[in-house]
Structure 1
Amino acid sequence: MPATPHRPTWLAPTLRHYDRSWLSRDVLAGLAAGAVVIPQAMAYATIAELPVQVGLYTCMAPMLVYAMLGGSRAMSVSTTSTIATLTATTFVSAGVAASSDAPERALATLALLVGIVLLLARLLRLGSIVENINLATTIGVQIGVGATVAVGQLPKLLGIDDSPSGKGFIRSLIAVAEAIPKAHLTTIVLSVVSVLALVVLRRFLPRVPAPLVVVGGGIIASAVFGLAARGVETIQPIPFGLPVPAVPDVTLVPGLLPGAIGIAMMAFLESAAVSRGIRKVDEPQIDSDRELLATAAANLAAGFTQSLPAAGGFSQSAVNQRAGARTQLAGIVTAALAVLVALVLGPVLALMPAATLAALVLVAVIGLIDIRALARLARISRREFWLAVVTAAVGLTAGLLPAVLVGVLGTFFLVLRELQRVRIVPGVATGTSLGARIEGAVYTANVLEYERTLLETVDAATDVRTFVLELPRMHDTSVTVLDGLADLDRELHQRGVTLVLADMPASAVDMARRTRWFQGLEDAGRVRGRATPSTAPSDRRPTDR
């Protein structure tokens, strides 16, 4: 009997063994998430002074591609305020934001670069490494994003200007202060009502799609009261139809690449945090490498469909989950809803006041300024607290891309400091013999520190002739570490002390046997414990140190 064909395990993993009883919940969840994510994504597009349809397009192909590849059952993938703000910053630093014909090609180039960077990270299996970026870095970047975007929306809320957040916190703040006398009263009233409605609905009626209610109310108010005729700015008309692929501009790659790397890292960090944060205990574990591939593919799709770089968003994912989403079919429904909006509701959306979208952005990004998280860092770890503060300060002064760089370098600095920390348990001296046990792993970063500490231990003792060093946790090693141990042996020899290695795991022993120094130790009987002879013919082959 012929075998039943099976779908590849990498394709639509959340749809495998689909239970038809889930269908109604997935459809309702997709519609509920769409009611939040579509207006929100359109609002995020304005952060980079891009047309609102760019945000709408981000809810189509990227969301569909993630649904076919991603492992999170309820995560909704479009874009986030962090990604939109980094896009704005990247455009400004590359000098393409103000150009009349470059934004579409620049956007395609940027999204493709983000996808390529993530794809390379997947090929190199860097998922778990990227996730080691310190939480303090993320908190600091998000504080910078929240404050920068919030100030950048004030001109729109006041009916003054439409300046991009990409200009930075300080410049936006100065521009707002200078332009306050020109504020438009009707726009201010509309902005206050919109913000209050969003806050009240989210606080007291969390199941109601607040963005959809506010957008609908803004459109109705615009039509009934003729707000455009009263001087209230409305959004640009949304073109009918689906996105047309834009041709990337390779000449923009050098200017956009640094921003693309920062966006790729933040896109994966946000997506990984959301997917793990909303995962239920009975759902499969989140695979970092799978998520890297899915996020990369979503961004490649964004590059071909005039979309913002894509990432998982917490607010729409939470709505998706609360509405009962069981699989990524909910994401497919949301993408279909976005297509329907583009094909049918364009003329209606053109009535939307720009201040309404600004209110959506303001309320969304204020939540990024997480003072409680900062206070928690201060209570638990002063080093991580100051890393978050410095990252946020750099974001508010020098810009968000430098803030990402500072945060990443700060994370690696803390990691290197931790790796350099020595963990030695001193042994009891017996006659002329002294021992010590290294409880941590030995790396290139800490081998010199271990050598100094061990030599200080021997120098502090009296009448030592044999020093027994136990290495039970050195499951892997490197040439640098082995050279460090050989140097320790020479230093001890000059002091008249014989080094004996003990309790080394077999994996480290097998590699160490490829050096003449370690072979000499074994021949002299100076290796004890787990260091047993190997049967591999290559282990005793003479090699360079």
Structure 2
Amino acid sequence: MGHVASRLRIPVLDWMHGYRKDWIKPDLVAGVTAAAVVLPKALAYASVAGLPVEVGLYTAFVPMVIYALFGTSRPLSVSTSATLAILTAAALAQAVPGGETAALMRATATLTLLVGGMLALAALLRLGFVANFISDPVLTGFKAGIAVVIVLDQLPKLFGIHPEKGSFFHNVAALAMGIPHASWWTVAVGAATIAILVAFEHFYPRAPAPLIAVACGIGAVVLLGLPAHGVGVVGHIPTGLPSVVMPDFSLIGSLWKDAAGIALMSFTETVAAGRAFVGNGEPMPKPNRELFATGLGNAAGAWLGAMPAGGGTSQTAVNRLAGARSQLAQLVTAAVTLGTMLLLAPLIGLMPHATLAAVVIVYSIGLFSPADFRAILRIRRTEFLWALVALAGVVLLGTLQGILVAIVVSLVALAHQVADPPVYVLRRKPGTHVFRPVSDEHPDDEAFPGLLVLRVEGRVFFANAEHIGQKLRPLIDAAQPKVLILEMSAVFDLEYTALKMLIEAEKKQRERGIAIWLVHLNPSVLAAVQLSSLGATLGQGRMFFNLEEALAAWQALHAPDTANGAANSASKKL
């Protein structure tokens, strides 16, 4: 146990032991600056989740402190995010359909504790590699879908209407029908907030735009008496430290599936944000340590009313750009959050709902990146389709189902790529020993009558061996070669079923008068071939180190009188 504890304390000891005095000022500045972004967004995301806004403060406090002690990323800022908020909202809507506040808080504590427990368990089982199972195009589609869901969820608050929620198409129709009944004072507040956020992001990107927008919203309430004009405000927020909230363990059966999805997205976002902002000379975040740190942060926060938490990309970017050098910046952000809970809660209660909705919308739209979709489409059309499928899964099926769709799509995409490895016909670049795939760009590349050179790439195993055979057969039938060379430098594994099929293929082609030669076998593939009957059949005469030697042997066979010397010099075979 002592050894395990020591390992878990290493992140704290690392940054404290190596701390430099000249880091203190930039860490203090970065911590305060990040707080100006973290706090308004945390309040807004608590609102997205259907929870009292003070839950956002609790979430920006406890998990932030725990991560600073146990996390491995120096600039990572941990609270909650738009993705986690909408996933939490979906989970709580099913667990507490009535929406009673006390029941919601107990359900939130249960959900957050489950998320923390799952993350910590995954750390113990060393499942950090799971983050790699969602491909970047699929994650792009998933986040875009989340953006659509969040914006549609917040637009009614921006118009001051309260339509009944349902499916995606129901919500779109309800919003359209409700717009004629909008509160135009509320619309004005929301529009002004959006204008402030966009203007500062464009002209003064280093300014704490969310804090300025929230301050303006609160100032407008005080100066213009907006509630009298139908503009809703947050209302009473309790001052002081969060109270202990007991989880409702009877809800575990209904919440565990949602918790698993939230845990996966929390970890994925945390690792992505941590990797994105690693500075020169800083260690890369360690996935299993990140699992433990975020798991412990969620588990601790659950008892104090926090919602599920994880690393946030935008707030981490602010933290890094403001000069953060170590996890001390996160502790400073947490201290500012604590001061807000103790002193500024009544002021936050004056914040208009439209201001919160505008903050959420502006920062959630950033999750939808057309440029990312265009980049994927330009490079790989198939993966662009996977991104669209993930987007549609979130929008049409729901957020948790969208996660499952994203994972399934990623695995299907991986399986498709593995099951369909490329096969290339190779020809020689004139005047060189370089062989390259046939291309319209290189029409003068040399072919050799009676010789067909094919390259197979990737792992060859039971799931794709037959498909590779289907690709090879028409190429062989069209060329009618005397010798078929399989260049296998890119084949890093040859599984037993595939090897057996290769043995049978060699026999069939030999009966047709076509000899198969193998070239550039990797050590593991060579060992497998030599241990099989194929090794004895081919012998050293039909296995070569490289294509240059194989071609020399081919030329020796067809010009024995003039190529004996070349054949002798190229006789070094496997």
CA offset at residue 148 of structure 1?
1.9
Residue 238 of structure 1 pairs with residue 251 of structure 2: no
Match of 1:182, as an amino acid? H
Match of 2:365, as an amino acid? I
- Percent identity, aligned pairs only, is 37
Residue 28 of structure 1 pairs with residue 42 of structure 2: no
Residue 486 of structure 1 pairs with residue 500 of structure 2: yes
Match of 1:483, as an amino acid? T
Residue in 2 that maps onto 1:440: 458
Q: CA deviation digits over 1:437-457, x for unaligned, max 9?
A: 544333454333335545666
Distance 1:288 1:462, change over 3 A: same
Distance 1:381 1:64, change over 3 A: same
Residue in 2 that maps onto 1:127: 128
Gaps of 5+ in 2: 1-5, 428-446, 546-574
Q: CA deviation digits over 1:286-312, x for unaligned, max 9?
A: 333333333333333333332222122
Match of 1:231, as an amino acid? G
Residue in 1 that maps onto 2:263: 264
Distance 1:83 1:361, change over 3 A: same
Give the 3-state SS of the residue equivalent to 2:311 in structure 1: strand
Residue in 2 that maps onto 1:292: 291
Measure, in 1, the Cα distance between the counterparts of 2:287 and 2:311: 14
Distance 1:314 1:460, change over 3 A: same
CA offset at residue 329 of structure 1?
0.5
Residue in 1 that maps onto 2:430: none
CA contact (8 A) 1:88 1:97 kept: no
Distance 1:175 1:487, change over 3 A: same
Residue in 1 that maps onto 2:72: 71
Residue in 1 that maps onto 2:194: 195
Residue in 2 that maps onto 1:38: 39
Give the 3-state SS of the residue equivalent to 1:442 in structure 2: coil
Measure, in 1, the Cα distance between the counterparts of 2:328 and 2:455: 55
CA offset at residue 314 of structure 1?
2.1
Residue 378 of structure 1 pairs with residue 377 of structure 2: yes
Give the 3-state SS of the residue equivalent to 2:331 in structure 1: helix
The alignment covers a number of residue pairs equal to 516
Q: CA deviation digits over 1:33-82, x for unaligned, max 9?
A: 01110111011111121110111111111111221222222121111111
Residue in 1 that maps onto 2:324: 325
Residue in 1 that maps onto 2:300: 301
Distance 1:524 1:374, change over 3 A: closer
Residue in 2 that maps onto 1:404: 403
Distance 1:153 1:424, change over 3 A: closer
After superposition, residues 111-510 of structure 1 pair within 5 angstroms as 111-161=112-162, 167-424=166-423, 438-453=456-471, 471-472=488-489, 475=492, 481-490=495-504, 492-493=506-507, 504-507=521-524
Give the 3-state SS of the residue equivalent to 1:233 in structure 2: coil
Distance 1:163 1:362, change over 3 A: farther
TM-score (norm 2): 0.79
90-99 or 185-194, which deviates more: 90-99
335-344 or 297-306, which deviates more: 297-306
Q: CA deviation digits over 1:260-307, x for unaligned, max 9?
A: 233223223322222222223333333333333333333333333322
Residue in 2 that maps onto 1:518: 531
CA offset at residue 499 of structure 1?
7.9
Alignment RMSD, CA only? Answer: 3.4
CA offset at residue 194 of structure 1?
1.7
Match of 1:447, as an amino acid? A
CA offset at residue 402 of structure 1?
2.5
Measure, in 2, the Cα distance between the counterparts of 1:115 and 1:361: 25
Measure, in 2, the Cα distance between the counterparts of 1:318 and 1:59: 16
Distance 1:268 1:175, change over 3 A: same
Match of 1:304, as an amino acid? W
Measure, in 2, the Cα distance between the counterparts of 1:329 and 1:314: 18
Larger Rg: 2
171-180 or 447-456, which deviates more: 447-456
Give the 3-state SS of the residue equivalent to 2:10 in structure 1: coil
Measure, in 2, the Cα distance between the counterparts of 1:138 and 1:392: 9
Q: CA deviation digits over 1:376-423, x for unaligned, max 9?
A: 223222222222223223322222222222222222222122212334
250-259 or 35-44, which deviates more: 250-259
Measure, in 2, the Cα distance between the counterparts of 1:214 and 1:342: 19
Q: CA deviation digits over 1:94-146, x for unaligned, max 9?
A: 45463554322222222233334434444454434523522222222222222
Q: CA deviation digits over 1:177-227, x for unaligned, max 9?
A: 233343223322222222211221221122221111122222222233333
TM-score (norm 1): 0.83
CA offset at residue 435 of structure 1?
7.7
Distance 1:295 1:471, change over 3 A: farther
Distance 1:197 1:104, change over 3 A: same
Give the 3-state SS of the residue equivalent to 2:157 in structure 1: helix
Match of 2:23, as an amino acid? W
CA contact (8 A) 1:238 1:350 kept: yes
CA contact (8 A) 1:159 1:355 kept: yes
Match of 2:143, as an amino acid? Q
Measure, in 2, the Cα distance between the counterparts of 1:6 and 1:290: 9
CA offset at residue 9 of structure 1?
2.9
CA offset at residue 491 of structure 1?
5.1
Measure, in 2, the Cα distance between the counterparts of 1:114 and 1:461: 59
